[in-house]
Structure 1
């Protein structure tokens, strides 16, 4: 076999193996965090929606009517706050991670302290009353207010911007929702 061809084949095989080793645990972990995983769409969003490209393996869930209504509420609150589509992508990805876009009340023993609503905000941390943080417009506005206070959030990867506002125990988990969030903003922003 030609030496150059042989080295090329071995190089490609090595890259495939290395990619599998490094991507394997990430992909396995992403599957554990969602109940409904579908293949990632290959939609390419413009620089405004995904300026850094997606970070890591992507998750996706099917949305019911309530979740779609919450997407629209997040987009409406983002527009009302005078913020752009990228802010809506960060907000929706955050809500996908925190609540799967469900406006969660108190979950009893499964509750993380007193976290509630789309963004799992806590009254005890100053996000507002239970009534406020379970109102999609209020909770989105509160999240966006925090996002505005992050210097350079527009130039950060989504997961870093979201984490700076949310201060989650799992800071990298927001990244897995970036593609679906961008797809949802592209679908609903101009409606």
Structure 2
């Protein structure tokens, strides 16, 4: 006699979600229980809309920052993001086809570097841009054709389906859109106080390099950056929101707007609290 066991793990998970007040709707299809989608944590709006989770958002911001640091045009960022979308869904994978790893599924056996190096998003992005820069005429190619020249994939047209999403992300993360990156972050922060502020400053330096503006770390509760223009200001502000989950950022202010972690929205700020157009201010959880 064959007895079917109840899905104990799923039942336990549903019970746990109920404890935290999550409304759960369960569908049963073919005897299988389907858990609901809880929704994205980040929404990017810039002549289009893209929904990502916090990890994807941080990786997209790092890929963009590395491109800006290397003085690559926005089109290069679009190609890089479309490639990472297709290869890893913007996740820093530790495995893949044959010996492929990382955001771009680069292969150590093909000269991209050691597995450890390739799994550093900054290194991987920099190697991708270096390879793209060597492709003659890549600026005039379709996104998928430029990406394929670098990746040499068995599916050369697959990158094109991510072109629209990547264009939205690139516009926002290069600073050409206002208040375009909104992430909602709940729960206990990863870091607090001086540790969070130090990690935040270090992360910015690693992503943006020597081109990063003057960083004021005099306050243990965060940092401020002097910026030359509004585009650069939004570039940094959007990076801060994108990396807020892992660095303990609670609040970001720029151009008389403010983003806060639990709310996840950019709101107008007036009076003395407004940061103006010359300074980006980030506050961490204390």
| Unaligned segments of structure 1, at least 5 residues | 1-40, 45-59
Q: CA deviation at 1:117?
A: 0.3
Corresponding residue of 2:3? none
The 1-side partners of 2:132 and 2:138 are apart by 7
Corresponding residue of 1:100? 89
Deviation readout 1:39-69 (Å, 9 max, x if unpaired) = xx9937xxxxxxxxxxxxxxx9731111000
Corresponding residue of 1:77? 66
Greater strand fraction, Structure 1 or Structure 2 = 2
Is structure 2 residue 47 aligned with structure 1 residue 43? yes
Is structure 2 residue 102 aligned with structure 1 residue 117? yes
Q: CA deviation at 1:80?
A: 1.2
| Contact preservation (8 Å) 2:103, 2:119 | yes
The 1-side partners of 2:92 and 2:76 are apart by 19
Deviation readout 1:9-39 (Å, 9 max, x if unpaired) = xxxxxxxxxxxxxxxxxxxxxxxxxxxxxxx
Is structure 2 residue 193 aligned with structure 1 residue 189? no
The 1-side partners of 2:92 and 2:131 are apart by 19
The 5-angstrom pairing of residues 1-191 of structure 1 reads 43=47, 62-106=51-95, 111-190=96-175, 191=235
TM-score by length of 1: 0.66
- Based on CA coordinates, which of the two structures has the bigger radius of gyration? 2
SS where residue 171 of structure 1 aligns? coil
SS where residue 146 of structure 2 aligns? helix
Change (3 A) 1:186 1:105: same
Deviation readout 1:110-152 (Å, 9 max, x if unpaired) = x300000000000011000111111111001101111001000
TM-score by length of 2: 0.44
Deviation readout 1:87-129 (Å, 9 max, x if unpaired) = 00000000000000000002xxxx3000000000000110001
The 2-side partners of 1:122 and 1:100 are apart by 17
The 2-side partners of 1:140 and 1:121 are apart by 10
The 2-side partners of 1:113 and 1:62 are apart by 30
SS where residue 187 of structure 1 aligns? helix
The 1-side partners of 2:94 and 2:117 are apart by 12
| Contact preservation (8 Å) 2:132, 2:146 | yes
Relative contact order: is structure 1 or structure 2 higher (C-alpha 8 Å, sep ≥ 6)?
1
The 2-side partners of 1:75 and 1:174 are apart by 17
Pairs aligned (count): 132
Q: Structure 1: which 4+ aligned runs deviate by more than 6 Å?
A: none
Q: CA deviation at 1:189?
A: 1.1
SS where residue 62 of structure 1 aligns? strand
The 2-side partners of 1:135 and 1:189 are apart by 21
| Unaligned segments of structure 2, at least 5 residues | 1-44, 176-234, 236-286
